[in-house]
Amino acid sequence: MTEPLPLELSHVHKRFKTGFLSLRTATAVTDLSLALRTNEIVGILGPNGAGKTTTLKMVTGLIFPTAGEVRLFGEPVHRRAARARMGFLPENPYFYDYLTAEEFLHMACGLADMPLAGRQERVTAMLKRLGIHHARALPMRKFSKGMLQRAGLAAALIHDPDLVILDEPLSGLDPIGRRDFREIILDLKRAGKTVLFSSHILPDVEDLCDRVAIIVKGRLREEGALTDLLEHGTRNTDIEVRCEPARGELLAREFPTLDCASTLAGFRLGVPVGENLQELLGRLIALNLEIVSVRPHRLSLEDLFVAHAEGAPPEAPPEREARDEGAKSAPDGEPKSAPDGANQEVES
């Protein structure tokens, strides 16, 4: 029998009731489907307010979808057994000020129902792994932001979960903290675990993720291996030539299809995909222009992110506000009822 997927979101929607008397609703996530395979690292990317935290909260069972389904290891997320195999680092974890890091991790052991025997060893090992063992007896109100983030990650991993969900794990960390966290995330993969994390720090996503999912205004815009996503973006080639500024006119006349920009040394010509590069270079040489460099310009994750974040949403804007009745009679297959009355979160 094949092992069930660690995580499966199927056509998940989330609407929040907002405003006075909760008469309005705001859509945070629309028709999101995403599956994670065992032992992969997937990054969720999206601008502020895209719905990343909402999605991760639904994955961890902290809030429930208005419609659609979340399954962990083949089980519905509301089953405790499914959640037991999952660890979560929230975006803004809450810490008890007067607990020490050691006490906090013991509390996490208790919440995870870990057997009493072996807890102390595990707590000590995690304090050491996260580099806060020296501060184990310090009340956490005296922790710096980075130390708190480390304590939060230690708590998320204390019960050795198979699926690890991290909301912005790298934000607020200094370069050493980021390096340590990246190493821990890679170690999780090496140990056969599955990781889903959200981030704004694109180089980290590029280095860590097997796949990325880009969410904008609550909708999944792209999903796949980074190499594939970047592959099907346009790949221009930049040719840099050294010459007198006066030759700009000649270049513009001779090469009207190229994007010509001045540089300190001369000009940079942007060659669109489809142009015959060899022929172009031959013509430039024939004009006695010194070619300094020829660089294929690959679409970067940043380009992709910005393009999606700035692009128009695929259909009507998902961030709609509607009267309560509107939510119930949504015509487009949108949520009609909330399981467990779960979408009761109200913006104060």
- Cβ proximity to ligand ATP, 69 vs 91, nearer residue: 91
Q: 69 to 98, contacts with ligand ATP by CB under 6 A? A: 91
172 binds ligand ATP (CB under 6 A): no
- Cβ proximity to ligand ATP, 52 vs 193, nearer residue: 52
Question: Minimum Å distance from CB 91 to ligand ATP?
Answer: 6
On the CB side of 175, CA atoms within 13 Å amount to: 0
For ligand ATP, which residue of 23, 35, 37, 49 counts as binding (CB under 6 A)? 49
Q: Which strands, in side-by-side order, build the sheet including 266-271? A: 259-262, 266-271, 236-242, 290-297
CA distance 313 to 5: 30
- Cβ proximity to Mg ion, 50 vs 184, nearer residue: 50
Which two tokens mark 308? 């999606």
- Cβ proximity to Mg ion, 28 vs 269, nearer residue: 28
55 binds Mg ion (CB under 5 A): no
Position 296, amino acid: P
| Binding pattern for the stretch 53-72 against ligand ATP, x by CB under 6 A and - elsewhere | xx------------------
Under a CB-based contact definition with an 8 Å cutoff, are residues 122 and 114 in contact? yes
171 binds ligand ATP (CB under 6 A): no
Which of ligand ATP, Mg ion, none has residue 151 at its interface (CB below 5 to 8 Å by kind)? Answer: none
> Residues in the chain, how many?
348
Q: 307 to 346, contacts with ligand ATP by CB under 6 A? A: 345
Residue by residue, DSSP assigns 35-52 as EE-TT-EEEEE--TTSSH
281, exposed or middle or buried, with CB in 10 Å at 0-12, 13-18, 19+? middle
List residues bridging with 25 in a β-sheet. 17, 322
Which of ligand ATP, Mg ion, none has residue 26 at its interface (CB below 5 to 8 Å by kind)? Answer: ligand ATP
Total of chain residues touching ligand ATP, rule CB under 6 A = 15
52 binds ligand ATP (CB under 6 A): yes
Which of ligand ATP, Mg ion, none has residue 345 at its interface (CB below 5 to 8 Å by kind)? Answer: ligand ATP
Question: Minimum Å distance from CB 91 to Mg ion?
Answer: 5
Q: 3 to 32, contacts with ligand ATP by CB under 6 A? A: 16, 18, 26, 28
| Binding pattern for the stretch 80-119 against Mg ion, x by CB under 5 A and - elsewhere | -----------x----------------------------
Which of ligand ATP, Mg ion, none has residue 64 at its interface (CB below 5 to 8 Å by kind)? Answer: none
Q: Look at residues 16, 13, 169, 149 and name the one whose alpha carbon lies nearest to residue 94.
A: 149
Please report which helix (H) or strand (E) contains residue 147, including its range.
helix 145-157
Return the HEC string of 78-106: CCHHHHCCEEEECCCCCCCCCCEHHHHHH
53 binds Mg ion (CB under 5 A): yes
- Cβ proximity to Mg ion, 91 vs 254, nearer residue: 91
Phi, psi for 196 (deg, rounded to 5): -125, 125
Question: Minimum Å distance from CB 89 to ligand ATP?
Answer: 13
- Cβ proximity to Mg ion, 52 vs 217, nearer residue: 52
Residue by residue, DSSP assigns 210-279 as SEEEEEETTEEEEEEEHHHHHHTS--EEEEEEE--GGGHHHHHHH-TTSEEEE-SSEEEEEEPTTS-HHH
Question: Binding residues for Mg ion, per CB under 5 A?
Answer: 52-53, 91
Question: Binding residues for ligand ATP, per CB under 6 A?
Answer: 16, 18, 26, 28, 46, 48-54, 91, 345, 347
